[in-house]
Structure 1
Amino acid sequence: MAKALLIIDVQNDFCPGGALAVPEGDQIIPQINELMTEFDTIILTQDWHPTAHSSFASSHLGKNPFEMLTMPYGPQVLWPDHCVQGTKGAEFHCDLQTDQAAMIIRKGTNPAIDSYS
Structure 2
Amino acid sequence: MQINTKQDHTAVVVVDIQADFTQAMQGSLAVGDADREYLNAAETQTRRLKALGYPIYATQDWHPANHISFFSNHDNAKPYDVIEIEGRQQVLWPPHCVQDTANARILMDESLFTAIVKKGMDPAFDSYSGFFDDGKKETGLADILKNAGIKKLIIYGLATDYCVKATVMDAIMLGFDVTLIKDLCRGVTPESTAAALEEMKAAGVDIC
Structure 2 length-normalised TM:
0.53
**Alpha carbons of 1:32 and 1:2: their partners in 2 closer, same or farther (altered >3 Å)?**
farther
Deviations 1:91-111 (A, max 9, x none): 112xx2321100101000000
Q: 1:19 to 1:79 in 2, by over 3 A?
A: same
**What's the CA shift for 1:67?**
0.3
User: 5 Å matches for 1:60-99?
Assistant: 60-72=74-86, 74-93=88-107, 96-99=108-111
How far has the Cα of 1:73 moved from its partner? 5.0
Which whole-Å deviations, capped at 9, do the CAs of 1:50-71 have from their partners, x for residues lacking one?
0110110001010011000101
Number of residue pairs aligned between Structure 1 and Structure 2: 115
Q: 2:67 aligns with which of 48, 53, 73?
A: 53
Give unmatched runs, 5+ long, in structure 2: 1-7, 130-208
Question: 2:38 aligns to what?
Answer: 28
- Whole-angstrom CA distance in 2 between matches of 1:85 and 1:73: 27
Provide the residue aligned with 2:116 in structure 1.
104
Further displaced range: 68-77 or 78-87? 68-77
SS at the partner of 2:72?
helix
Query: Which one has the bigger helix percentage?
Result: 2
- Structure 2 Cα separation of the partners of residues 78 and 54 of structure 1: 8
Q: Percent identity?
A: 37
Matched, 1:7 2:14: yes
How far apart, in 1, do the equivalents of 2:80 and 2:43 lie?
32
Superposed CA RMSD: 1.3
For 2:33 and 2:109, the matched residues in 1 are separated by 18
Which consecutive unaligned segments of at least 5 residues does structure 1 have? none
The alignment's TM-score, normalised by the length of structure 1, stands at 0.91
Q: Within the alignment, does 1:19 sit opposite 2:63 as a pair?
A: no
Residue identity opposite 2:79 in structure 1:
P
Q: How many angstroms does 1:28 deviate by?
A: 2.0
Runs of 4+ residues deviating >6 angstroms: none
Partner of 2:40, secondary structure, is: helix
**Larger relative CO (CA 8 A, sep 6+): 1 or 2?**
1
Match in the other structure for 2:128: 116
Q: Secondary structure at the match of 2:49?
A: coil
